[in-house]
Amino acid sequence: MTETVKQLPQKIKERTATAAVIGLGYVGLPLAVEIAKAGFDTIGFDVSKDKVATINGGKNYIQDVDDKLLGTLVQSKKLRASSDFSELKTRDFISICVPTPLGKGKDPDMSYIVQVANELKKYLRPGQVIILESTTYPGTTDEVVLPSLEETGLKAGVDFHLAFSPERIDPGNKNFGLKNTPKIIGGITRQCSEIVQSYYHTFVDKVIVVSSSRAAEMVKILENTFRAINIGLMCNQLGIDTWEVIEAAASKPFGFMPFYPGPGLGGHCIPIDPHYLVWKMKLMNYNARFIQLADEINSSMPHLVTEKIAQALNDRKKPVKESKILILGVAYKNDIDDYRESPALDVIKLLQERGADVSYHDPHVPSVRVDGKNYTGVPLNDVSRYDCIALLTNHSAFDIKKIVSECQILVDTRNATKGLQGFANKIVKL
């Protein structure tokens, strides 16, 4: 083990270690803020000049980050942003939080991770610690990142450390944030795990070490595959009220966890992560049919919502074409501004293809782009002028009873109208 590696525990203790976070989105910026808050000199790296300028101006663009805290950290020079990746050579701990989207065939797109690994190769030096946080398939850390970094001649576990730690950010969660959500760590070697554990303990309450980077990668896939499959279990075709069944089953104090249906899966985790495992298993000549079936059901939900809207209009002798339809909520879940992979965008596209006059309202999302068309949110007033309203996200700002009393039809995908029996002739439930 090199001398610079041996110095890391003391540098962590004294807060003289330097930190970097590559990728300043929903995962990277909250992580950079927590690291800087713990006392480490932190640089956030991003290719977006706008993000870099915003942070260096002490301004925030992520809902889960405290505006005042970010401004204070920037002002005290504990946190800054940069697009100059040559500054990586000055950093001791480097966390990678870049996107890992799916390609058109739902295969993992590793291009961002590969690009970062190629940048790191240019500046890798003895004593550095590299931590991959981007969600990916089991084997990415030691099959993609490790060989690339070792092309420098430096060896993991000896000259530098390498580990995987899955992000567990839940946008908009008021009870659990980065600090009080247990952190999983899997290093390439035992020493890699130990040094990353020591580092993360300075800004995360609980750190759990697993046996390998592959095990850590699989943890995140398991978490979201479990949720995706359970969300895919529906009773609609049986003519049973799904919400009633779930609420009754949730009364069991053990062995059951409730998952609630909606217009489809959204966010950067549940709709995407299971496909990393499907792809990896295909390489091993194994067909993960259960995951694929759940995806098939979940992916069909925007079509089901569109059909519900069409049927509700048809029952009132109105065609979808030229009907005025208001989408209520385009964020993928309540009270956040994140609309990545939101099923609302698919519903808008499907209705647009049928010739509907589609508008949307979302207090957290001022504008969106759907299938090449820009949409600007409309005010939530005079809802009676719409032929149908589809409630896709139930933000707390919505006065559901008032909306129902004024609208012509409400397609409720979130069970927000529970208890409003007096308006049954206006409400269509998912």
Helix (H, G, I), strand (E, B) or coil at 155: coil
Structure token digits, residue 15: 């807060």
Structure token digits, residue 28: 């990277």
Indicate the helix (H) or strand (E) that contains 402. Answer: helix 400-406
Structure token digits, residue 279: 């792809």
Given 97, 192, 235, 269, which residue is catalytic? 269
Q: What residues have CB less than 8 Å from 361, skipping those under 6 apart?
A: 326, 327, 328, 329, 377, 378, 379, 380
Helix (H, G, I), strand (E, B) or coil at 68: helix
What is the C-alpha separation between 224 and 230, in angstroms, rounded?
10
What does DSSP say about strands 161-164 and 183-187: parallel, antiparallel, or unpaired? Answer: antiparallel
Please choose, from the candidates 85, 86, 81, the residue with its C-alpha nearest in 3D space to the C-alpha of residue 56.
81
Structure token digits, residue 377: 């949110």
- The answer to whether the CB of 18 falls within 8 A of the CB of 80 is no
Structure token digits, residue 255: 């062995």
- The answer to whether the CB of 283 falls within 8 A of the CB of 273 is no
Helix (H, G, I), strand (E, B) or coil at 221: helix
What is the C-alpha separation between 105 and 329, in angstroms, rounded?
28
What is the C-alpha separation between 265 and 247, in angstroms, rounded?
20
Please choose, from the candidates 72, 65, 63, the residue with its C-alpha nearest in 3D space to the C-alpha of residue 21.
65
Neighbours of 266 (CB within 10 A): 24
269 among known catalytic residues: yes
Q: How far from the centroid of its chain's Cα atoms is residue 285's Cα?
A: 29
Give me the helix-helix angle, 273-283 and 213-231, nearest 10°: 120
338 CB-contact burial (10 Å; exposed 0-12 / middle 13-18 / buried 19+): buried
What does DSSP say about strands 129-132 and 93-96: parallel, antiparallel, or unpaired? Answer: parallel
What is the C-alpha separation between 148 and 146, in angstroms, rounded?
5
Among all residues, which ones are annotated catalytic?
269
